[in-house]
Amino acid sequence: MNGNASQLEIADESRTSSPSRVAENQVAPPPVSYWLQVLKRLARNKTAMFGAVILLVFTIGCASAPLIAPYPIDEMNFKDRLMAPGSAHLLGTDDFGRDIFSRLLYGGRISLLTGLVTVTVASLIGVTLGVIAGYYRKVELYIMQVMDILLALPALLLAIAIIAVLGPGLTNAMIAIVIAVIPSYVRVVRAQVLSIREKEYIEAVRALGIRDRVILVKHILPNILSPIIVLMTLQFGTSILAAAALSFLGLGAQPPAPEWGAMVYVGKAFLGQAWWMSIFPGLAIMLVVLGFNLLGDGLRDALDPK
Amino acid sequence: MNDALLVVEDLKTYFPLKKGLFGQKTGEIRAVDGVSFHLRQGETLGIVGESGCGKSTTGRSILQLVRPSAGSVRFGGEELVSMPPAKLRGMRNQMQIIFQDPYASLNPRLTISTILAEALSVGEKGANPTEMRERVLALLQLVGLNPNHADRYPHEFSGGQRQRIGIARAIAARPKLIVADEPVSALDVSIQAQILNLLQDLQEELGLTYLFISHDLGVIKHISDRIAVMYLGRIVEIADKRRLFEQPMHPYTQALMSAVPIPNPNQKKERIVLGGDVPSPANPPAGCAFHPRCAQAMEICRRVRPQELEIEREHFVACHLYGSSEKER
């Protein structure tokens, strides 16, 4: 190793100092998994944990709705219509005497499922398009022009326009939301890929003759995962809000489905006499969206400890 | 030249300057502007020059990591510039690169063994996991790292250690040629010597050929057999190491050499200080690119680009001071 180091003038001084060599052999303590560290940082973040608790309560409540719900969602009881919150009906009843609490639990299933489906589909399509746009400069212009056109329109307005073509209904509302939020994934992912693809470790695997497919999946994707996860979490809330808004406008889930947005809409007509019909579903929407936003913000901090 | 592993002829790499919505070409950066040299099996050619003179782009163009605009790169008799990408991919393992920044050249999300196994699998296909593991460990040992650290992530290593990993990755593919792009510039001086010696040991052991790029004359002098001096995308002088240091011919080389410190405080020497800055490669001067800063510039230097002239065996200079153009003085 140090056979002919003396030929090198610049190294002469330092060869006598052994500490540098010792330091070279020191290594950091055994590896702690990256994701474990992220979880630890997240757990220390109180607001993020508050968001997580909200979401956990809602998820468990909605998942076990058949066990918890005191009444069936469509059981009408005209004797008890427009009853204020009380012991018989925890959150009151609506204009058909249906139990609001039960309907909220079942409606949450629709909302959470809407969020899950739209986020999954939109992120799959968006990430794929973003990676292609970022890595292959030849198609970048075409993809990004389309995305810019979509972004130029307000998401909700775009969704309404799409539903105008497809017709109202929960499935079409989800399709509309997916199309409306894809551009935000594409933009984020493309920007990330653009910065990663110029890194020397990508050049190194290109120099090895590794195929583009492998480079994208094995080397680029893991390095852009953090912002994608943050975006997905935040979009979860946005999608639920958008779905509720569309239902409120009568374009999404149709009554008598206990969708939160639809419930707020129905309750609007009775706001003077039975405020609980609109307020509680509205509160549910707010809390879930708040939960996702708090968790998303916390995740962003945990994934990017700077 | 028959025993040459690599022959580069009139290599040009221009980067277009684009503007506007549809990316109209408004000009070009002439990063590499007509570079020619050859490299024999087992030798080390050092490329030295200021930052921005096209050293790195030359290295990357040879490896086709940046596709050249014109010229010829023949590697083992095969023309690389016009080679289709699919065929080129099959040849890539024969020529590898070591990067300057050991902090940017390793994927932070992969363990060292994953990084090295990928490189090994390119050089030799079809090894089973146990064999692969053994080879990774052997490779780590070869570059002076502890095999027990194979499953660690890059951020757990120091700069020198990472550079060793980068070297291990380069030799894993069993290359013939390695382009070392400033492999020690980012390291402490004490570590530099270790890495340079490692490179020399590996060269002897594996019969490697190096194209060694650096701006550090001390490092270049230590490792090279021959040295090429670059200025603004062109090679101005190329010669045997000893000849170049003892008798630099090109005014730019002379200025460079005068800047090398001599470890003797009593010895006086004259320093040639160049005025001005390196011109922009987007708008290089006409004629000899060096003429605006050259103390010995003549009329012809402003008009005619000097050709490379072999003034003695294996000593090429591109300057109007020498050879046929001397008469016009």
Secondary structure (H, E, C), chain B: CCCEEEEEEEEEEEEEEEECCCCEEEEEEEEEEEEEEEEECCCEEEEECCCCCCHHHHHHHHCCCCCCCEEEEEECCEECCCCCHHHHHHHHHHEEEECCCCCCCCCCCCCHHHHHHHHHHHHCCCCCHHHHHHHHHHHHHHCCCCHHHCCCCHHHCCHHHHHHHHHHHHHHCCCCEEEEECCCCCCCHHHHHHHHHHHHHHHHHHCCEEEEEECCHHHHHHHCCEEEEEECCEEEEEEEHHHHHHCCCCHHHHHHHHCCCCCCCCCCCCCCCCCCCCCCCCCCCCCCCCHHHCCCCCHHHHHCCCCCEEEECCEEECCCCCHHHHHHC
Q: What is the DSSP letter of A251?
A: S
Q: Are B12 and B74 in contact (CB under 8 A)?
A: no
pLDDT in tens, B87-145: 999 899 999 999 999 889 999 888 999 999 999 988 777 678 888 999 999 999 999 99
Neighbours of A242 (CB within 10 A): 25
Q: Which of A229, A242, A221, A287 has its CA nearest to residue A118? A: A242
User: Is B291 a residue whose pLDDT tops 70?
Assistant: yes
**What is the crossing angle of helices A34-44 and A46-63, to 10°?**
100
Compute the Cα dihedral for B23, B24, B30, B34 and give only its sign.
positive
pLDDT, position A149: 92
Asked if A137 reaches chain B (Cβ–Cβ under 8 Å), the answer is no
**Scanning the structure block, which residue is given the tokens 């001071």?**
B321
Q: Which residues of A touch B211 (CB under 8 A)?
A: none
What CA–CA distance (Å, rounded) separates A133 from A198?
Answer: 14
Q: Which of A282, A243, A246, A239 has its CA nearest to residue A263? A: A282
Q: Are B210 and B7 in contact (CB under 8 A)?
A: no
- B-interface mutation test, from A14, A17, A24, most B Cβ less than 10 A away: A24
Asked if A204 reaches chain B (Cβ–Cβ under 8 Å), the answer is yes
* Total domains, chain B: 1
CB contact under 8 A, B90 and A14: no
**What is the crossing angle of helices A276-303 and A260-268, to 10°?**
140
Question: A4 to chain B: nearest residue by CA?
Answer: B197
pLDDT in tens, B213-254: 999 998 999 999 999 999 999 999 999 999 999 889 999 999
Q: Which residues contact B71 (CB under 8 A, 6 or more apart)?
A: B8, B9, B10, B11, B12, B34, B35, B81
pLDDT, position B324: 58
pLDDT, position B311: 85
Let me know if residue B104 belongs to a domain: yes
Compute the Cα dihedral for A94, A99, A101, A106 and give only its sign.
negative
Sheet holding B315-317, edge to edge: B95-98, B177-181, B209-214, B44-48, B226-231, B234-240, B315-317, B309-312
Label residue B229 exposed, middle or buried (CB < 10 Å: 0-12, 13-18, 19+). buried
Let me know if residue B297 belongs to a domain: yes
Q: Residue B213 sits in a domain of what CATH number?
A: 3.40.50.300
Q: Considering the entire predicted model, what is its pTM? A: 0.80
Whether the bond between B175 and the residue before it is cis, its omega within 30 degrees of 0, is no
Chain B window 126-145: which residues touch A at a Cβ cutoff of 8 Å?
144
How close B59 comes to chain A (CA, Å)? 12
How close A1 comes to chain B (CA, Å)? 6
Class for the domain spanning A58-72+90-303: mainly alpha
* Dihedral class, residue B127 (left if φ above 0, else alpha if ψ from -120 to 50, else beta): beta
Rg (C-alpha) for chain B, rounded Å, is: 21
Asked if A226 reaches chain B (Cβ–Cβ under 8 Å), the answer is no
pLDDT, position B328: 43
| Structural domain that includes position B293 | 4-19+27-261+269-322
Asked if B155 reaches chain A (Cβ–Cβ under 8 Å), the answer is yes
The low-confidence residues of chain A, meaning pLDDT below 70, are: 1-32, 305-306
Strand ranges for A61-174 from DSSP E: none
pLDDT in tens, B50-96: 888 899 999 999 999 999 999 999 999 899 999 999 999 989 999 99
**pLDDT category of residue B20 using cuts at 50, 70 and 90:** low
Mean pLDDT of chain B: 89
How close B92 comes to chain A (CA, Å)? 5
Rg (C-alpha) for chain A, rounded Å, is: 27
Q: Which amino acid, one-letter code, is at A265?
A: Y
Q: Quick check: helix, strand or coil at residue A134?
A: helix
Q: Which of B293, B230, B222 has its CA nearest to residue B51? A: B230
Give domain limits for chain A: 58-72+90-303
Q: Which residues of A touch B144 (CB under 8 A)?
A: 1
What CA–CA distance (Å, rounded) separates A214 from B116?
Answer: 15
How big is chain B, counted in residues? Answer: 329
What CA–CA distance (Å, rounded) separates B271 from B259?
Answer: 6
Question: A206 to chain B: nearest residue by CA?
Answer: B65
Q: How far apart are the first and last CA of chain B?
A: 33
How close B173 comes to chain A (CA, Å)? 7
Asked if A148 reaches chain B (Cβ–Cβ under 8 Å), the answer is no
Pairing of strands B177-181, B24-40: unpaired
What CA–CA distance (Å, rounded) separates B11 from B62?
Answer: 9
Let me know if residue B327 belongs to a domain: no
Of residues B27 and B242, the one with the higher pLDDT is B242
Let me know if residue B32 belongs to a domain: yes
**What is the crossing angle of helices A46-63 and A276-303, to 10°?**
130
Phi, psi of B83 (to 5 degrees): -70, 135
